[in-house]
Amino acid sequence: MTLFRPGAEQIARLTRGDQPVCAFLYDLDALADQAVALRTALPPGADFFYAVKANNDPRVLAALAPHISGFEVASAGEIRRVRAAVGPEARIVMGGPARTAGDIETLLAYGVERLHLESIQAMRVADAVAGAAGTVLPVLLRVNLAGPVPGATLTMGGAATQFGIEEAAIPDAVAVLGDCLSLRFEGFHFHTVSNNRDAAGHAALCAAELALARRWARERGLDLRLVNLGGGWGVDYADPDWRFDAAAFARALAPHLDARTGIQFECGRIVAAYHGAYVCEVLDLKRTHGRAFALLRGGTHHFRLPSSWAHDHPFVILPRESWPHNWPRPEVVDEPLTLAGELCTPKDVLARDVPVGRVRIGDLAVFLMAGAYGWDISHHDFLCHAHPHRVFLSGQAPLLEPGP
């Protein structure tokens, strides 16, 4: 599995020379190869869905569509985005909290094949809408395990969170579902953790979830057709060359599978992260209270991930020799550097006190692993700064979306 590392010449070809550089670059061909590698590592018959929340750009969706089972969405807007980008044949499943009647109406209108229910209220809303439409909607019950669940950067289950139906309430949910004549139970959904870097531990968690689903089905006489085991396959932003061992995960999980129950995965970060880069020109260098700062054309309004995860995002500095001014070119040499953006907030930081060899005004900071949860989760119009250029590489011809 590759890592997209654009070089200075490539960046110069793909960005406008009359403005400071600020751009997202995406390698769509490598993205497709990543999806193929992950899907083929799984046992035969397993469904591999792409979690649209990680990067919902239409070009990303279209590049992935031939190589995955379908798309997992969390909103009516994402349903429409997938249909517009990929077409009517794409498989879509829907999860997420805070469902509305409008969500369910959109789901039915656009041919979404299954809904993952996160509460009894959502169940009753879905049943009412499906009943009014004269149809029966297949559903999974999303489970929030009793926990605790170790080993991941983010935990959606096994703790007090807003996600899923707590494990102790599953019997009540099954009973209510039995009275919902316009919903059809097909199984359980477990999306318990995110960014788990322990392949063996994640396989053990999934195996335990499968065993729990089978036990509930056996005890309650349910027809268990499907278990969705979520995503959570990790990436390591501290080590861009590290990879989650999807093949080892699949081997460890295989003995726990059977032909009677289908399994699904819905992964986003591990699919999209490695094949995008965020490039920012250094506009200024300064020292305050003993610390060195690089001020960038860009920041967390474009790439919020480092701030939201409170980590130092991996980057490389690409030198550029051109200096058009008649005053000395400021530089920082062999000292820790904080890379900050152009926003009027001290939280606009992408990496903090990271040792660098040499950085000058006009050089480029290239943030690697920026393909997932970057542009899509950011507050683009805070302070009304210009948007970055967005360039999508596919074959020989880049697909350009220049910023304003």
Active-site residues: which are they?
A: 344
- Rounded Cα–Cα distance for residues 194 and 155 (Å): 6
Q: Cα–Cα distance between 254 and 215 in angstroms, integer?
A: 18
Neighbours of 366 (CB within 10 A): 24
8 Å CB contact between 375 and 390: yes
List Cβ neighbours of 89 (8 Å cut-off, separation of 6 or more).
none
Task: Report the alpha-carbon distance of residue 86 to residue 297 in Å, rounded.
Answer: 33
Those residues with Cβ within 8 angstroms of residue 32's Cβ, 6 or more apart along the chain or in another chain: 63, 64, 66, 67
Q: Which two three-digit tokens encode residue 263?
A: 């399994």
Residue in the structure block whose two tokens are 């056996």 = 218
Residues whose CB falls within 8 Å of the CB of residue 135, separated by 6 or more in sequence, listed in order: 108, 182
Q: Name the strand (E) or helix (H) holding 173.
A: helix 170-178
Helices 101-109 and 120-132: crossing angle, nearest 10°? 50
Strands (E), 41-151: 47-51, 70-73, 92-94, 114-117, 137-144
DSSP class of residue 388?
A: P
40-43-49 Cα angle (round to 5): 60
Torsion of CA 104, 106, 111, 117, to 10 degrees: -30
- Token pair 């039995």 is at which residue? 178
At residue 186, the 3 state secondary structure works out as strand
Q: Where do runs of H (alpha helix) occur along 221-265?
A: 246-253
Rg over alpha carbons for the chain, rounded to the nearest Å, is: 23
Helix (H, G, I), strand (E, B) or coil at 110: coil
